[in-house]
Amino acid sequence: MTETKTQSVPPERWQALVEAVERLAAAETLDDVIAIVRSKAREISGAEGVTFVLRDGESCHYVDEDAVGPLWKGKRFPLTACISGWCMLNDRSAAIPDIYVDERIPHDAYRPTFVNSLVMVPVKAGMPIAAIGSYWSAKRSFGADELALVEALARSTSVAIQALRMRASLRDSEARLRVALAAGDLGAWELSQDDDSLTSSSLCRAAFGRGDNETLDFAALLAAVDSGERERVTSAFDRARAARGDLSFECGIHWPDGSAHQVEMRGRAVLDANGRPRALAGVVRDVTEQRRAQEKLQRLQSDLAHAGRLTELGEMVSAIGHELRQPLTAANNYLSAARTMIGRLDEANAIKSVDKADAQFRRAQEILDRIRNFARKDDGGSSPQDVGSLIVEARELAMIDPRHRGVDVRIETDAGLPKVLVDKVPTQQVLLNLLRNAFEATSGRGHVQVHAGCGSSPSLVEISVRDDGPGIAPEVMDRLFQPFVTTKPNGMGIGLSICHSIIEAQGGKMWAESPPGSGARFVMTLPAA
């Protein structure tokens, strides 16, 4: 066997490398990569045989070859027992002019082959994961150019394998994202910054009433928004696209078939490498059904609260009759006195008497107005309410019942208390209920203290009603806010459950405390206005 001298690399081999690099860049699978290396490596190296070796745990797997005579295709060797393993373990190339004088070579494995010299280069993807071997029948040395050529092929191969892995993990995370989006009924969309083009998933188009094959562009999306809300929505998009905060809104839309829907949209600016907004990407969800269910629930709660008020008034009806009878009787007396005075031509006193009758009528009117307001069906919505007035008015209603007139009610409100954002009538209903329960607990003769102060957070106001009655019976303590829980012979046991739902519906909380020997204390929090 003769030793050949190295020559400079002919241009066709560089050309073959360029072609291999181009094809590797487009490789879709590991098999593609192996096939490209197999078909091009001999051209590039000018060798009589090439192998592609994959690291498989602790062994080298000779997965493919292209050679003038058989090599080791399909065989596995321990990493420590072959030159490809040495290259991978040491992360270095090996150029071996005479394999039979190199200790790293398992000579027995080479004896049946044509090989006398070789170049082995590792392929890295973070760590060496493969190797490319080139083999010659002649003993020969290798020039730097030749080595550079096969190392360039190895580098391109490693880039191709890393790109494959990245694409695979991207596909994985896209698949996971798709599963998550589908599970949350979320449609995905992306709005390009450059040309306003909108890319949307089929769930996104479905949220806007579009079929799978129909398109949805940004103009159509904005046009679908109810006209009264379009300006708000457009400026929300503008703000988010300028990366001044996230996009988050809910709005009414109309589908092309004319039906009304409600969607919730969230998004965030996607920045380019220079930190400039490139697009706005986000999700959309059709919340029509949820909103309908919520509205229905609210209506039911409001009906229940109203029924509770009527029950409360029903229980107070004889007291109300009594309360009205007083001013009406007084007014009647003043009017008959005035009639007598007119008969005596005492005009001045007759007028005074009519004025007094008028004042009594007004008092009766006030009582009626308060009761009518209380019995009203619609709640009037949330508005800022003065806590002191809410409590005083509820106390006046509670005190209509003559059985409770002996109770000593003290009201304390902390200085500088903010107004609360509540529905006035249902909130008074809660206070009335708590007061009447406290009055009953003290058998109309005890002490009741109402305190309004700043709660644990500045956004809440805390109102408590404390009495010095016997305290809450232990057997009902845990179920106090459930309906039909009562210890009273004629009780319905629905008052507190209604109170609880009224307070929660307004964003507050309600609880009760009854330390042994200290009566009962009911506490509620309400949102500060």
Residue 487 binds to ligand ADP (criterion: CB under 6 A): yes
Residue 503 binds to ligand ADP (criterion: CB under 6 A): no
CA distance 10 to 44: 10
Residue 469 binds to ligand ADP (criterion: CB under 6 A): yes
Each residue 179-218 as x (binds ligand ADP by CB under 6 A) or -, in order, gives: ----------------------------------------
- Return the number of the residue (313 or 476) whose C-beta is nearest ligand ADP: 476
From 213, 488, 516, 517, residue interacting with ligand ADP (rule: CB under 6 A): 488
In DSSP terms, 260 is beta-bridged to: 254
Cβ 252 vs Cβ 260: under 8 Å? yes
Residue 492 binds to ligand ADP (criterion: CB under 6 A): yes
CA distances from 169 to 124, 363, 497 (A): 18, 79, 53
Both tokens of residue 243?
């990366």
Residue 31: count of CB within 10 angstroms of its CB: 11
CA distances from 43 to 23, 53, 54, 121, 364 (A): 14, 18, 21, 16, 110
Q: Is 438 helix (H, G, I), strand (E, B) or coil?
A: helix
Pairing of strands 408-413, 447-454: parallel
Report in angstroms how near the CB of residue 524 gets to ligand ADP at its nearest.
13
Report in angstroms how near the CB of residue 514 gets to ligand ADP at its nearest.
7
Amino acid at 85: G
- Binding segment (CB under 6 A) for ligand ADP, from list 49-57, 454-462, 472-480, 503-511: 472-480
- Return the number of the residue (122 or 471) whose C-beta is nearest ligand ADP: 471
Report in angstroms how near the CB of residue 412 gets to ligand ADP at its nearest.
18
- Return the number of the residue (134 or 514) whose C-beta is nearest ligand ADP: 514
CA distances from 148 to 17, 83, 137, 140 (A): 11, 19, 21, 16
CA distance 331 to 335: 6
Residue 372 binds to ligand ADP (criterion: CB under 6 A): no
Residue 473 binds to ligand ADP (criterion: CB under 6 A): yes
> φ and ψ at 35, to 5 degrees?
-65, -40
Please give the size of the binding site for ligand ADP, defined by CB under 6 A.
22
Residue 380 binds to ligand ADP (criterion: CB under 6 A): no
CA distance 94 to 75: 21
- Return the number of the residue (316 or 496) whose C-beta is nearest ligand ADP: 496
Cβ 345 vs Cβ 319: under 8 Å? no
CA distance 278 to 193: 5
- Binding segment (CB under 6 A) for ligand ADP, from list 15-23, 158-166, 225-233, 464-472: 464-472
Per-position DSSP letters for 143-173, written without gaps between them? -HHHHHHHHHHHHHHHHHHHHHHHHHHHHHH
Residue labelled with tokens 């920045």: 271
From 16, 520, 524, 526, residue interacting with ligand ADP (rule: CB under 6 A): 520
CA distance 189 to 499: 43
Report in angstroms how near the CB of residue 353 gets to ligand ADP at its nearest.
44
Q: What is the DSSP letter of 92?
A: -
Residue 515 binds to ligand ADP (criterion: CB under 6 A): no
Tell me which residues in 441-460 interact with ligand ADP (CB under 6 A). Answer: 441
Residue 307 binds to ligand ADP (criterion: CB under 6 A): no
Shortest CA distance to 234 belongs to which of 242, 226, 222, 220? 222
Residue 493 binds to ligand ADP (criterion: CB under 6 A): yes
From 50, 123, 236, 438, residue interacting with ligand ADP (rule: CB under 6 A): 438
From 83, 279, 472, 528, residue interacting with ligand ADP (rule: CB under 6 A): 472
Residue 430 binds to ligand ADP (criterion: CB under 6 A): no
Cβ 198 vs Cβ 210: under 8 Å? no
Report in angstroms how near the CB of residue 433 gets to ligand ADP at its nearest.
6
- Binding segment (CB under 6 A) for ligand ADP, from list 38-46, 88-96, 178-186, 489-497: 489-497
CA distance 264 to 250: 4
From 154, 480, 503, 528, residue interacting with ligand ADP (rule: CB under 6 A): 480
From 121, 422, 430, 485, residue interacting with ligand ADP (rule: CB under 6 A): 485
Report in angstroms how near the CB of residue 391 gets to ligand ADP at its nearest.
16
Binding site for ligand ADP (CB under 6 A): 433, 437-438, 441, 467, 469, 471-473, 476, 480, 485-488, 491-496, 520
